[in-house]
Amino acid sequence: MASLRIPVTTADHHEGPADAPVTLVEYGDYECPHCGRAFPIVKKLQKTLKGKLRFVFRNFPISQIHPHAEHAAIAAEAAGRQGKFWPMHDRIFLNQAHEDDASLRRLAGELKLDLEQFDRDVRDPALAARVQADFNGGVRSGVNGTPTFYANGVRVDTGFSYDELLAVIEEALEATK
C-alpha cells in the first residue's frame, strides 16, 4: 500500500478544519478529464462530511498530455497569493475547456484579482517551482496518474466515485476512534 511521502503542512492549500479526523489529499491536473469528473464528487464529500474532512489539493500537471495544465496550476497559485486559490481552483475546473492563458486571465478578472499583480505572479519562477515541488512530492508518493487520492496518508486504490471515496473516508474515520 503506497503512502503519502510529503506530509501535509500549513503551506498546503486546504479546505476544512486543520484538526479534522480525516485528511483527503488529491494530486490533480487541471486539464485532466478524470480530475474534472472528480471535482464535483470531492465538493459533495466536503458538504456531506463538513467538519470531519480536510481536503488538500496538490498540483500534478501531466504536461506531456495536457499542455495547459502547468499554466493552470500556476494561475491557481497566483490567485492564491491574493487569497483566492480555492475560487480560482473551482473556476478552472468548471471551465476545463478554456485553459489557455487568456482564459485563465479572464477567470482572474472575474474573481476581481489585481490583474497586474496576477500577471507578475504567473511569471514568477517561485510559483513554477511550487508546482514542480508538488509534482515531485507526488512522484515520491507513487503518483503516476490523476487524480490520485490519499486518505490520512494512505493511497486510495479504489476508484474515485462518490460511494468509493465515501467508504474509504468512513473507514478512515472509524480508524481514528
> Mind listing the pLDDT tens digit for each residue in 102-138?
999 999 999 999 999 999 999 999 999 999 999 999 9
Q: Which residue type does 20 have?
A: A
The dihedrals phi and psi of 119, each to the nearest 5 degrees, come to -60, -40
CB crowding 83-118: b at 16 or more within 10 Å, else e: ebbbbbbbbbbebbeebeeebbbebbeebebeeeeb
Q: Are 57 and 87 in contact (CB under 8 A)?
A: no
pLDDT level of residue 1 (50, 70, 90 thresholds): low
Domain of residue 167, CATH code: 3.40.30.10
| Amino acid (one-letter) located at 71 | H
Residue 135 lies in a domain: yes
Report the mean per-residue pLDDT for the chain: 96
Asked whether residue 4 is assigned to any structural domain, the reply reads no
CA angle, 112 then 11 then 115, to 5°: 20
The strand pairing partners of 24, in sequence order, are: 55, 151
> What is the number of structural domains in the chain?
1
For residue 18, how many other CB atoms are within 10 A of its CB? 9
Query: What letter represents residue 1's amino acid?
Result: M
Query: What single-letter DSSP state applies at residue 23?
Result: E
What range does the domain containing 66 cover?
A: 13-175
C-alpha cell at 109: 478578472
Task: Tell whether 7 is covered by a domain.
Answer: no
Please give the pLDDT value at position 107: 98
**pLDDT of residue 92 exceeding 90:** yes
Query: Considering the domain boundaries, does residue 5 fall inside one?
Result: no
On whether residue 50 sits in a domain, the answer given is yes
Instruction: Tell me whether residue 3 is in a domain.
Output: no
Asked, for residue 2, whether it belongs to a domain, the answer is no
Task: Kindly state whether residue 151 falls inside one of the protein's structural domains.
Answer: yes
